[in-house]
Structures are given as structure tokens and as C-alpha cells.
Structure 1
Amino acid sequence: MKNLPEKKKLMLVGAGNLCLQILKILAPRNNFQFVVVGRQEEPTVRFCNLVALSAAQLGAYISIEPVVADVMDVDRMTDVLKKHNPDIVMNCASLQSWRIITQLPKHRFEELDKAQFGPWLPMHLTLMHSLMRAVKASGVVTKTVNAAFPDAVNPILSKVGLAPDLGIGNVANLIPATRLSIARLLEQPPEEVSVSLYTQHYFSHYVPRGGLPREAHYKLLYSVRGEPQSDRLLPAAIFDTVRTEFRRLGGIDGQYLTACSAVTVLEGLFSATPVVVHAPGPLGLPGGYPVKLHDGQVEVQFSPSCTRQEAIEINSLCQRQDGIDEIHDDGSVTFNPACMSIFGKLLGYSKRHMSLSQSEAFSKELASHYAAFRNSNG
């Protein structure tokens, strides 16, 4: 009997919608052993059984184990990591999902959304900081993937030696529509078009809704059959085609696209042949980049057309539009006052600076202010 390669062990932290969407894709392929970490026993067991039974319905009998742990309990998570020794740890958890505000009345959502994503940082940084502390304490050699605002969270954690290897979503979510738009405008098959995009969450969030921003910080390179073509089309035409011809469902339904980007990363990390994907926060860098994955290696792709320095500058400028003016050497951040003023007006919550040690307290304060705002708006 032919010896098959041993399946890698994938630990998914946070048994929520994104985790489920990822497992809907990965489980039937049956290429991983799965461990799912949730805070409550009954929902986590039921979650894992749903995945296992659904995979069995498709003829795949998977290994999936529920584990009950609170990510904020560093000692408990350290023990969990030591026991299971995963090859990949992926964080799918946040203290508040990005999509929560989409449930507000439309006019209130639109008002609050103008503050951009940066002011919500403590909701996404807090859990990932705790998880990476546990990874470091465990001594487990593993690849770490972050789904919680990796454009900012990963470079913040890199300042204190806790950077995840890379993130998922955001810049990656814009690539399929961008590639298809270029192919359509050039009248070429999509499989013949290659795209490299350097930009931060703000840009990838704005373009599908509004086309090319008036103040746009990004670098787009594309080729057809290996021949550079980046000067053939007006950028506004490309991104307007993204907005119109390739408009899509968002919100919770849009999580499927994010899950697909996660699958390319999770499967690519230990691919025997090199795979180029797009990912935010690779190796602690701010914003998003094309990344080559191969046999456990992560290599960010730069070129004479977009050097490392240029790409980082582009992403740092775009991050300011997202509400974070600067990430400092100690992991503290300075928020954009224009973005934060919207929070001050609507939520009664406003911060200019935040240290890593303040993230948990700020997240609780922000949650309280948002709950009051939500309740007052029905």
C-alpha cells in the first residue's frame, strides 16, 4: 500500500461563522486534522459534529476535535497548544465582528461606517495578542494565521516579537474581481491574467462600493501571459468594473469570499509546489501584499516595479485613511483624529493613543458605548 503524507493539524480558534465557512470548504477535501477551539462546550461540540456529519454525507470521514478554552486565558491556551501541537493555528475570533454595525438602521450604519475600521482596533487586537502570547509560551513550532484586522494587528504585534505569519481576506478579497475586470477590459481569458496588488484594508473595502477612491494609495501590477500590461488600462476603468460588473453580496454572505481566501493560505502554507496568494500582514508588515507560500515558507513578493520600501509606504498611507495614523516601535498606536471624532460624536468614545496593555480595557469601554448606541437606535 502506498504511503500517504501525514495530514497537517490545523487548529481553528473561534467557532463562529468564518470558521464554519472555512470548514465547509476544507472538510470534504479531508487534507487536514482539525481542532476547533471555542469558549463553550455544548455549542463547540455541536459545531464540530455538524462539520463531521456534513463531510460524511459527502463521503469524507474527517478527524475533528472540539476543545473548550477562553483565548484570554493564556495559561489554558498554552496547555492546549502543547497538547495538540498544531502545524497551523488560525485565529477566527474577535471581541466584536466587523459585520455587527451592518445590523444598525441604514442611516446610522452609514454615519458610523465613515469612521472606518481603525477605531475598532481593540476589538481585534486583544484576542490575537493573547493568543500569540500563548503560542510563544507553548514553544510549539507552528504557522500562525490571523483573520482579525491583520493589516494593523499583525504589524502591531511584530513590534513586540509576536507577529503572526500572515493574515487572510481584505486585499485578497479584491483580487478575483480585479483580475476578472482586467481580463474583460483587455478581452483576454482570466487564466492568462496575473495580478499583484499592494494595498491596505481601506482600499479593498472602498473599491467594491465606490470604485477608485479620490485619494488612492495602492500599487496594481498586471500581466497577460507573462507580459507586463500595467499601462494599458485606466485604473478608474478597472475598479469601476469591479464595482459594477462584479458587484457581489456582502455582510455575512460575503464571508464566503473571505473563507476562500483563507483556504488558499491554509492549503498553500504547506504546498509542495510554490503558490502565490494575496494576504494582509505577512511577516508583520502593514497592509496587504502578494505572497509566495511553499513548504512552510512565507515570502512577500516585491519587484523593481514595487520595492519593499514603496509597498510599505503605500500601505502605511492607506492605513491612515483607515483610522490609524501610526504604529510605534513599542506596539502603541496613534489614531486618526478625523476618524475617531466620528466615534466621539456618535458613541461618546474617543481615544488619541492606545498601548498594547490598554487594548483589553479599551475594548470593554468601546463595547459598552456601542451597546448603548445600538440600543438607542432600535
Structure 2
Amino acid sequence: MPRTVAVIGSGSLARAVVYALADVLTEPVDVHLVARSSGPLSTMAHLATCRSRSLGGQARFTAHRLDSGVPAAEVVLNCSSTHSSAEARNRPSAWTDLVRACGIALALPFHAEFAARMSRAAGDALFVNAAFPDAVNPVLAALGLPIHCGAGNIATLAASVGSDIRMLAHHYHLSTPERDEARVWVGAEEVTDVGERLAALRACERPMLNDLTGLTAALLIRDLLGEGPIRTHVPGPLGLPGGYPVVLEQGRIALDLPQGVSEADAVAWQTAWGARDGVAVDRAGHAVYSDHVLEAAEPYVKLPLTMEPAAVIDFAEELDLVRKRLRGNET
């Protein structure tokens, strides 16, 4: 029988994932595409099926409306959220100005609330979240929701650094940091030219990265369906904050840390990097907003300094009222 995968979303990242899946899946796989509107999905499904067939693959893609639920699958990948980074380009407003000032940290409640709903809908599947997984995944885990790992971010960074490496990095490192660079090891040796290795990737406009991120996510899905063992990098494995080297084997996932680096050390670095990204989320799912986010948001919304995991989800409703009000003053 064919293996089964569900991909949630119809934006640029979801499209990149779907077309990459058509390229990398060689065995029979039924891929269910799920979104709030099935219109663009039908085209995506047809093109992806044609692409797989043209390459000699056996993947079959079908479209479904999200209001009909998430089809049963072995792996469910969430590429969607109630916040879109494309809004700043397509519909600029006082709201997108605020997001620009605060960074992705402000949108954490939107990403977490939607991912929580999708995690519940995924049932017994391996749930993979690509919506700000470095911060969202520990919130889901703290709430007792299924979360296997994330997709993107560190996988995209690692692809730019090189092969046969172990890397520790955070979403924060997609941009050039003022300090505290990502860390990379080749064997037991830590390399010192990480910034130089990442310079070309960081010079890309963010939307252009989706092609590479989509490929890394498609390879992750393929490897989760496979036997393994496979060494790779993922954000938010097993609900941990930030991104880590891991080993995948028969759907299971385990950390693959460099020699001499403990899990406690790695998590502490990730929490510190999260603070520089605007919100530090610890392994218990507690979110602490950074001062620059609190100050930028203050004229529009009073963000709690610290939010419990359930409060992160609940705050999406209040933040949506702020968003609607500020969208009314579009520029």
C-alpha cells in the first residue's frame, strides 16, 4: 500500500515543499494537500503529480479543504499559520509596520495557536511544524500536544554550511547576528568561519529561501518515511527550543550532539539565541519577550513579559483585535 503524507498550507513554502516532494519521492506515496481554500491546491496537486510522473516517480497528490479535516496520514507537515510574512509585501499597513519593528516574535501566538489546532487534527501521525518551530514546538510539547519536530530554519542553514557537519542554530541565525554566531562542528573540531559560510545565504531575499527550505522539508518527510538511520538537522525536535543535529531511524528521532556538548548546554544556548530573536522559549514552553519587542509593541498592545504555554495560545485572540484595528490604517 502507498505511504501517506499530508501537507497543510497553500503559500509559497507549501508549494516549494510539494514540488520538491514530487522530485524526491520515488516510491508510491499518497500526498494530501490541505488548506482553507482548495482552489490553488487543485493546480498544485495536478502539477506535482505530473512532475513526479515525468521523473519516473509514483507519488500521487490530491487536494482537500481544511474544513473537511486533515486526512489520515503517517506524516503531517504544517506549513501554514494565521499570520503570513507575505502580508508586509502584499498588504502593508500599520500592523505590518509593527511586525517589522518587533520581528517574528510578535507573531508567536498566531503561529502557536494554528499549529496547536493542526497538531490535534493530525491524530496519530508524526506531526512536523514549519511555522516558527524554534519557538512554537516547545509550547506545543508543554501543552501535551503531539510534536515530532520542525522543518526549515536550521536545515536551511546547515545546507548552506556544508555536508558531514553538526550544527546548533536558531531561527535568529538566518540573519547576520551582532554576536553569538551559530556553532558548527566537523567531527570533533568546531569551525570558526561560520559567518563566512553563511554569508551567501544571508544575502538572499527571504522569499527566495523557500525553494531551499522546501527541499529540506521534503527530504525530511522522505527520511521520516524511510528506514534510516539518517543524520540531518531539524528545528524543535521533540519539542525542544531551537535547532539541533539529529538522527532519524524508522520514524524515530534522537539528538546527535557534538562530542562534549550536553543537551542542557545546547538548550541553554537556544534559549539565549531566542531572546535575541525577540522571544526566549524554554523547554517548558514559557515564553519571555525581549525588551525591544515589549517597547516596540507598547503603544499598540501590552505584551506580558512572560507567558505560560496556554497563555501563548490564548493571546492570539487579543492580538488579532490589535491586528484588525491597525489594518484599518493601511498605508
Same fold (TM over 0.5): yes
CA distance in structure 2 between the partners assigned to 1:39 and 1:278 by the alignment: 30
Q: Alpha-carbon deviation of 1:256?
A: 0.6
Equivalent position of 2:85 in the other structure: 98
CA distance in structure 1 between the partners assigned to 2:309 and 2:318 by the alignment: 15
| Distance change in 2, residues 1:127/1:341 (3 Å) | same
Equivalent position of 1:148 in the other structure: 131
| Distance change in 2, residues 1:214/1:10 (3 Å) | same
| Distance change in 2, residues 1:302/1:229 (3 Å) | closer
| Distance change in 2, residues 1:104/1:240 (3 Å) | farther
CA distance in structure 2 between the partners assigned to 1:246 and 1:15 by the alignment: 24
State yes or no: 1:220 paired with 2:184: yes
Equivalent position of 2:303 in the other structure: 351
For the pair shown, which has the larger CA radius of gyration, 1 or 2? 1
- Which of the numbers 289, 303, 312 marks the counterpart of 1:335? 289
Equivalent position of 2:104 in the other structure: 117
- Which of the numbers 168, 184, 197 marks the counterpart of 2:167? 197
Equivalent position of 2:143 in the other structure: 160
The amino acid of 1:205's aligned partner reads: L
CA distance in structure 2 between the partners assigned to 1:358 and 1:229 by the alignment: 42
Q: Alpha-carbon deviation of 1:69?
A: 1.9
- Which of the numbers 17, 22, 27 marks the counterpart of 2:17? 22
> Is the 8 Å Cα contact of residues 17 and 214 (structure 2) preserved in structure 1?
yes
State yes or no: 1:275 paired with 2:275: no
CA distances 1:191-243 after superposition (whole Å, capped 9, x unpaired): xx5221112211x2223xxxxx33316432124xxxx442xx5x3x4303421
Tell me the percent identity.
23
State yes or no: 1:238 paired with 2:225: no
Q: How does 1:175-190 map to 2 (within 5 A)?
A: 175-179=158-162
The amino acid of 1:38's aligned partner reads: A
> Is the 8 Å Cα contact of residues 133 and 162 (structure 1) preserved in structure 2?
yes
| Distance change in 2, residues 1:350/1:155 (3 Å) | same
Aligned partner of residue 269 in structure 1, secondary structure: helix
| Distance change in 2, residues 1:377/1:88 (3 Å) | same
Q: Alpha-carbon deviation of 1:124?
A: 0.6
CA distance in structure 2 between the partners assigned to 1:333 and 1:319 by the alignment: 10
5+ residue gaps, structure 1: 1-5, 71-75, 180-192, 208-212
> Is the 8 Å Cα contact of residues 149 and 238 (structure 2) preserved in structure 1?
yes
- Which of the numbers 305, 316, 319 marks the counterpart of 1:363? 316
**Scaled by the length of structure 2, what TM-score is found?**
0.86
CA distance in structure 1 between the partners assigned to 2:10 and 2:75 by the alignment: 16
Deviates more, 1:113-122 or 1:251-260: 113-122
The amino acid of 1:336's aligned partner reads: S
> Is the 8 Å Cα contact of residues 147 and 167 (structure 1) preserved in structure 2?
yes
| Distance change in 2, residues 1:99/1:311 (3 Å) | farther
CA distance in structure 2 between the partners assigned to 1:58 and 1:98 by the alignment: 32
| Distance change in 2, residues 1:110/1:170 (3 Å) | farther
CA distance in structure 2 between the partners assigned to 1:23 and 1:249 by the alignment: 22
CA distance in structure 2 between the partners assigned to 1:328 and 1:279 by the alignment: 16
CA distance in structure 2 between the partners assigned to 1:62 and 1:52 by the alignment: 7
- What RMSD over aligned residues (CA atoms) do the two structures have, in Å? 3.0
Relative contact order (alpha carbons < 8 A, sep ≥ 6): 1 or 2 greater?
2
> Is the 8 Å Cα contact of residues 155 and 286 (structure 1) preserved in structure 2?
yes
Q: Alpha-carbon deviation of 1:298?
A: 0.6
**Scaled by the length of structure 1, what TM-score is found?**
0.76
Aligned partner of residue 158 in structure 2, secondary structure: helix
